[in-house]
Amino acid sequence: MESNWIGNRSVPSESTDALAVVNPATEETLGEIPRGSAGDVEQAVAAAKAAQRDWGGLSPVARRAALYEISNILLEHKEELARLNTIEMGKPLFLSRNEIIGAATAARQFGELAVHMRSGSQQAAYGELNFQQRFPRGVVGVIVPWNYPVALGVENVSAAIAVGNTVVWKPSEKTPLTSRRIAELAFAKLPPGVVNLVLGNGPGAGQPIVDHPDVSAILFVGSEATGRRIGESCGRSLKKAILELGGKDPLIIDETVDIEKAAAFTIDAAYFNAGQLCTATERIYVARQIFEPFVEALTRQSRAIVQDDGLMDNVGMGPIVDRIQLDKIVEQVDRSVAAGAVLHCGGARLDRKGWFYPPTVITGVTASQPVMADETFGPVAPCVPYDDFDEALALANDHRYGLAAVLCSTSAPRSLKFLHEVRAGMIKVNAPPRKAPGGTSEPVGASGIGAGYGQELLLELTRQSSIQWKPAI
């Protein structure tokens, strides 16, 4: 059974209950991790707390140098880490390579951003100073999901430590192996206790991290349901919570687009990583004038996608991460079809080993059907026609989530209207619903609270004090 990584040492869990880690393409067991325990978390928090004063006392330049070294190690071991990521998560190998590169880039980015953080000052009376200073929050709990375990783990851990915090990191129990390897390979270059990794599920390890009195902030990426529970727990203890939660992100396509290019764009937006992306497009609103040819083009291009084990050559889409997630997708599509929706391609699990679900185009859907109402997290593209742009905007905004929203159009007036009126933290025009270089966003509605990415995330991970200094009483 895999062990935790605490104080730069391999530490066996107090829990003897095991959770299997399974390859989603083959259904073969890759290994086991502990279920986790409050005792494991106690050890990790103690190590992080002991290390925080010295780590937080370093200059930002010194911490930047450490993050640059971590970045270099990730790139040196890119092939090893990418292969392990694909084996446990399922995504094609080229996506895993890009994920490692993105994680390495994020480590460098946050190291650099921390050096350039600035606080304000005021004009003061002669002989005194009046200014603001930002300080680390202390020990930060970082709890991340299974869809991008390396990128989300390394990125958020790097942001936290760049500004002087120490970390207790819990990767998803579905995809823990790459994170565990990175902790020992890269973060072990830091002083003991700066980054600690605890394995386990939500009840065994996640909740004890959230509830621990010495954890000053929680950075969580995951489901709305879990995020709400974490938010409630943090509220009771007045603990800082940064939560990026679910999405049901809309894409509006107007009649000014090239239909074939718009279909290819939609495939990238809806099927990237088999649709297992917080900002994946899950509601597609198409101008009625082009609706039928668009659906035909989307269906044809969807059928051409090569789906197989992510380690194989020329694979465009891998499997779904596990049987639980696969069954959720199957149920949503089946219930929607039973309620009157029409399938154009896909719509059933592939008859083969592994948890594969094909690209699925579906029309005739209503707002109340599961594929339009609930987060799917799978390669499903529900398409709905609209008659005018105001109607499309109203449909896009008619949901509790507001993580990302996209418009495909060559119309500048419509684009400006979209930017001002759509309810989303990440707004894109003719660009895919993924992070913009150097950008940041804050979720809207049930999609979370707190700024993610960029300089604003570093502000969330620090506290500001107002300081007035006189030389004598």
Q: Which one is catalytic: 2, 99, 155, 244?
A: 244
For 220, 224, 438, the CA distances from 452, given in Å and listed in that order, are 10, 16, 11
- Rounded CA separation 166/197 (Å): 11
Catalytic residue among 278, 282, 383, 408: 278
C-alpha–C-alpha distance, residues 187 and 196, integer Å: 9
Say how many C-beta atoms besides its own lie within 10 A of residue 29's C-beta: 10
Note if 244 is an active site residue. yes
378: CB partners within 8 A, 6+ apart: 274, 275, 276, 320, 325, 326, 328, 329, 332, 357, 360
Residue 54 CB partners (closer than 8 Å, separation 6+): 191
Concerning whether 331 is annotated as a catalytic residue, the answer is: no
**CB within 8 A of 181, min separation 6: which ones?**
80, 81, 84
Catalytic residues: 244, 278
